Structure 1
Amino acid sequence: MSKLNELKSHLKKGNIYKRDELQKWSSSIDRHLSQLTSNGVLKKVGPGLYHFPKKNAFGFEPPADQLLIKKFLDNDNFLITSFNSYNALGVGTTQLYNKQIVYNHLRSGDIRLGNKLFTFKKKSAFPPKPTKEFLVVDLINNLDYLAEDQPKILEKALEKAMSLNKHSLGHAIEKYGTPRTRKLLAKKLLLCQKN
């Protein structure tokens, strides 16, 4: 068996591999990777990342975002979100954004993985899944980046915050809010308590 076929024998369809992982099965990994990508067996999907795509009736299946990011970061401690998530809050955001944001503890910056551009943002904390409380806090954190009428959206987001569970909201403000967001929400909570 040729060295190239030996390397191929270790690959499983649908998996994503790091160059370093494949190195253990090849003494000339860069040459082999070049051959495998040029003949379409592997697809390069990111810096040092290779996908062995499965084929379906429509062609090759792209790797799932979750898998790509997990392999890229080497862990599963991240949250994939988008400004589109705010639309579910019913605070007047209707714009559609094609940018996906990845909150994580390791990387920052725009990185192309597969055929998508992800914006990695280093955060000290984020929930495993977005809750309404988290989304309100996150919306206010990111207000400056929204293409809508920002003062109007802020007013509605603050109103929405007051209708949520106060304990969960307090936790979300404390854990995920920027200093500005904390200040705005604390002021609104105080006003509500006085009325």
Structure 2
Amino acid sequence: MGATQNIQKQISKLADGTTFKYEQLDIEPQDFSATAKAIERLIAKGVIKRVSTGVFYKPKKTAFGELKPNEEEILKPYLFEKGKRIAYITGISLYNRLGLTTQIPNSIKIASRNKRITVSNGNVKASPVKSYVDVTDKNFYLLELLDALKDFKKIPDLDKSSVIKILLTKLKELNPTETKILIKCGLAYPPRVRSFLGALLENIKAEGDLTALKTSLNPLSEYEYGINEKQLATAKNWNMK
């Protein structure tokens, strides 16, 4: 199969509205030049469109015309490197998606351990923040929850009782292996986050050993979140106030 046919076949299998980069395509090194030309021909035909340099998308056609990919889809290619996840969306955009706030940010935050990811593509803008641990497909959604605990007091329009209920629900949905990974990742976060995480996990009687979280904390330290025992019954056990 020639390079052009190979690319056409791969793109035909992509869902409409999907964004992609060259590195996400199965291309032999010797075929890269031919692939680039094939991509340009497909753009000329309207089969795919360019989002930015090296980033493309397959348009989604509707009765009202073509739909452009949403913000998260545009940013998706930047979250991966050589097929492996290296970053995730965090900040207010994440907290909006999780239902913790109704606010919508002007700029999106992208967290990565070793790479600063900046995006400026029309109305879609993203700036980098450093993640506390290496980001993978197995932990990024757990890091999202830890970030919510870290930024709890900074989340705009925060309803503490409602947000705690949402967080408890999400933690209950984790299986024991996921909870174990969550605790391990949590140990890399500041003490106040470890305290909050321990209180939440104890509240739902999670299947996991909380000893590491407990012993990582200074028993004389207090962590001010403005949370009372009616909102989180186990808060006092973890020196939260």
Structure 1 length as normaliser, TM-score? Answer: 0.55
- Which of 169, 172, 176 in structure 1 is aligned with 2:189? 176
Structure-2 residue corresponding to 1:11:
11
Residue 143 (structure 2) pairs with residue 108 (structure 1) = no
Secondary structure of 1:55's counterpart equals strand
Residue 91 (structure 2) pairs with residue 82 (structure 1) = yes
Partner AA of 1:8 in structure 2 = Q
Q: 1:71 to 1:147 in 2, by over 3 A?
A: closer
Secondary structure of 2:151's counterpart equals helix
- Which of 79, 89, 105 in structure 2 is aligned with 1:97? 105
Shift of 1:135: 1.6
Gaps of 5+ in 2: 134-138, 169-178, 197-220, 225-235
> How well do the aligned residues superpose, as a CA RMSD in angstroms?
4.7
Higher RCO (CA-CA < 8 Å; seq separation 6+): 1
Q: 1:62 to 1:115 in 2, by over 3 A?
A: farther
Gaps of 5+ in 1: none
Partner AA of 2:105 in structure 1 = Y
Alignment of 1:1-195 (within 5 A): 7-12=7-12, 13=14, 14=16, 15-20=18-23, 21=25, 24=28, 27-63=33-69, 68-72=74-78, 73-74=80-81, 75-76=84-85, 78-83=87-92, 85=95, 96-112=104-120, 116-125=124-133, 128-129=141-142, 130-131=144-145, 134-139=147-152, 174-177=187-190, 186-188=221-223, 193=239
Q: Is the 8 A contact 2:222 2:240 kept in 1?
A: no
Q: 1:88 to 1:134 in 2, by over 3 A?
A: same
State the alpha-carbon separation in 2 of the partners of residues 188 and 10 from structure 1.
52
Matched residues, number:
169
Secondary structure of 2:11's counterpart equals coil
Whichever structure has more helix as a proportion of its residues is 1
Q: Is the 8 A contact 2:90 2:110 kept in 1?
A: yes
